[in-house]
Amino acid sequence: MTAERRLTVRFCILRSLRALTLLLAVVGLVFSGSMRAAETVAALSGFAFESASGRPPVVAGVSNTVVAFRAVTGKAAPSGLVPIFAVETHGRVELRRIPGKGQESFSDPVFFAWPPRRESEAGKVSGRWEALAIREDRSRHRFALELAVDGQRVSARFDPDTDYRFAHLTEGRLECGRLDLQVAYLNDHYRLLVERRKDRWVGSWKLEDDSATGPLELWREAPSTKTPPRRGVIALHECRKAGSPERIYRLADEPLPPGWQRVSPPLCEVWKPAKGSRPGPR
């Protein structure tokens, strides 16, 4: 039995009934867990992603017992990487750069990878940000939010461990180095407008009716993990077939089944597997 085969067999315990439902609904998608809490794995369209305990969270993609590519997994992304989510839509599951609408508060990324070359700004915005808003009475309100970007669209999840977990983004845009976030929190609606200032975002917040406003600043805490170098990476594309709602995911150098075409720009850039771990041309 090869090492790749052992890796595939090792993670075979379904984490939940929901995972089983997804597996039955969409061939190739299953979330599973190992006996060690620090290890996670997910198989997606024939790929499997592993994060091993005590090692950097670099994950191996396994397709048909052969390593297909490598990505990063964990709860927080190293600086510069973007999250990739599995989103249920119309009875199938797709990989996307932002969660489905209304799913932000409970959606965790499947893995993290580099954004496409033409979307470098996405890596500078995506991830966890600490925020400080100051009211007119000089009271200070600190909160945290996790941002994800797809083109000009922005999604946000507010810290689930605080009262701000009840806040949600109704609309988010990234244009010309400016973030425009519209937020609903309890019975109020806010607008957050900030501009990039080196490694921070600086601007203001206001109530929708302009009855209150104040300064706002966002910054990152020091990352707990180093960003893997952008060496040996390759584009990962969503692929579609005319007349079919299904989606498959292939690397830029992989041949496609008849009738399938890659979507541009690519979803992200992942790391190539070790030499000799992928099959030859099919």
Question: Which candidate, 131, 73, 128, 84, places its Cα nearest to that of 107?
Answer: 84
Tell me the two tokens of residue 94: 């797709």
Burial 180-195 (b: 16+ CB within 10 A, else e): bbebeeeeeebbbebe
Question: Residue 77 to residues 71, 159, 177: CA-CA distances in angstroms?
Answer: 11, 15, 21
d(CA 223, CA 220): 8
Give the C-alpha separation, 197 to 216, whole Å: 12
Residues 15-23, mean pLDDT to the nearest whole number: 33
> Taking residues 192-209, what's their average pLDDT?
94
- Phi/psi of residue 225, nearest 5 degrees: -130, 150
CB contact set of 59 (below 8 Å; sequence gap of 6+) = 49, 50, 51, 70, 71, 72, 73, 111
What is the distance between the alpha carbons of residues 229 and 257, in angstroms, rounded to a whole number? 32
Sequence-ordered alpha helix ranges (H) in the chain:
3-10, 17-25, 120-125
Structural domains in the chain plus CATH codes: 3-114+229-271 (no CATH), 119-219 (2.40.128.120)
Q: Where are the alpha helices (DSSP H) in 2-159?
A: 3-10, 17-25, 120-125
> What is the arithmetic mean of pLDDT over 172-183?
94
Cα-based distances in Å from 147 to 2, 62, 95, 172, 262: 39, 28, 17, 10, 27
Name residues whose C-beta falls within 8 Å of residue 77's C-beta, 6 or more positions apart in sequence: 83, 109, 112, 126, 127
What pTM did the predictor assign?
Answer: 0.75
Handedness of CA 253, 120, 181, 161 (dihedral sign): positive
Question: For 25-41, how does the pLDDT look when each residue is reduced to its tens digit (9 = 90+)?
Answer: 232 222 222 222 222 23
> How many percent of the chain have pLDDT more than 90?
39
Q: What is the mean pLDDT of residues 103-126?
A: 87
Residue 216 pLDDT grade (very low, low, confident, very high; cuts 50, 70, 90)? very high
| Cross-strand pairs, 183 | 169, 190
The terminus-to-terminus CA distance of the chain in angstroms comes to: 22
| pLDDT tens profile 221-252 | 887 777 888 988 999 999 999 998 888 888 99
Q: What is the pLDDT confidence band of residue 72, given thresholds at 50, 70 and 90?
A: confident
Burial 48-65 (b: 16+ CB within 10 A, else e): bbbbbeeeebbbbbbbeb
